[in-house]
C-alpha cells in the first residue's frame, strides 16, 4: 500500500518525456535533449576544451579541479556558443568505448520555466543525435519520466 505522503511527494514532481527542449542559460541556447535515466551525470556537446591559465603540465585531469575551462558548444540547429566555467568535478565515465575522464562544470538548465543548476560533463557529441544528454543528477528530486510523453505535449 502506498502512503498518502508518498503520493503527495510524487505529485509535486514534473513529468518529462524521453526527449525535451532544454535551455542552457549560460549559453543562451535551446537543445533537443535526450532524457537518460541510465546516465548518472548530464552531458553536453563540447569541443575546443581547454584549461584556462593553467601553469601545470599535469596529464592527470584531477589536478585541474577548481581551475577554469573553456569550450565551444553547438546545438542540433548549428547554433554555437562559447563558455568558460570552473571545473567542479572530474568524472570517470564507462561507456561502449571503454573508460574516459571528463571535466564537469555547473550549468543552469531550464525546462518549462523551471531552473536547475547541476554538474554537466563535457564531451564531443558531434557524432551523436542529441547534443545534450540529461542524466539522473538533473532528474532526481524534481522530475519523473513518462516514455509516452512527447516534447510537443508541454
Report pLDDT digits (tens) over 45-94.
999 999 987 666 778 888 899 999 999 999 999 999 999 999 999 988 88
Residue 9, domain member (yes or no): no
Determine, yes or no, domain membership for 149. no
Report the alpha-carbon distance of residue 45 to residue 114 in Å, rounded.
22
Question: Is residue 151 in some structural domain?
Answer: no
pTM of the model: 0.87
Residue 101 belongs to some domain of the structure:
yes
* For residue 8, pLDDT beyond 50: no
Could you tell me if residue 131 is inside a domain?
Answer: yes
Q: Tell me the chain's radius of gyration from C-alpha atoms.
A: 17
Asked, for residue 148, whether it belongs to a domain, the answer is: no
Give the domain extent around 42: 18-143
Number of domains forming the structure of the chain: 1
Three cell numbers, residue 31: 537543445
List the CATH number of the domain containing 136.
Answer: 2.40.70.10
Torsion of CA 83, 26, 95, 139, to 10 degrees: 170
pLDDT greater at residue 7 or residue 21 = 21
Return the higher-pLDDT residue of 154 and 119. Answer: 119
In a domain, 65, yes or no: yes
Amino acid at each position: 500500500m502506498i502512503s498518502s505522503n508518498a503520493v503527495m511527494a510524487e505529485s509535486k514532481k514534473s513529468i518529462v518525456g524521453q526527449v525535451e527542449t532544454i535551455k542552457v542559460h549560460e549559453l543562451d541556447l535551446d537543445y533537443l535533449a535526450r532524457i537518460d535515466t541510465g546516465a548518472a551525470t548530464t552531458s553536453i556537446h563540447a569541443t575546443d576544451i581547454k584549461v584556462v591559465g593553467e601553469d601545470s603540465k599535469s596529464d592527470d585531469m584531477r589536478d585541474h579541479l577548481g581551475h577554469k575551462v573553456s569550450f565551444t558548444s553547438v546545438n542540433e540547429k548549428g547554433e554555437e556558443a562559447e563558455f568558460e566555467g570552473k571545473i567542479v568535478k572530474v568524472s570517470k565515465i564507462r561507456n561502449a568505448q571503454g573508460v574516459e575522464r571528463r571535466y564537469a562544470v555547473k550549468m543552469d538548465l531550464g525546462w518549462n520555466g523551471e531552473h536547475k543548476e547541476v554538474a554537466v560533463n563535457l564531451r564531443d557529441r558531434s557524432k551523436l543525435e542529441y547534443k545534450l544528454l540529461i542524466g539522473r543528477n538533473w532528474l532526481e528530486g524534481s522530475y519523473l519520466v513518462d516514455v509516452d510523453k512527447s516534447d510537443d505535449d508541454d
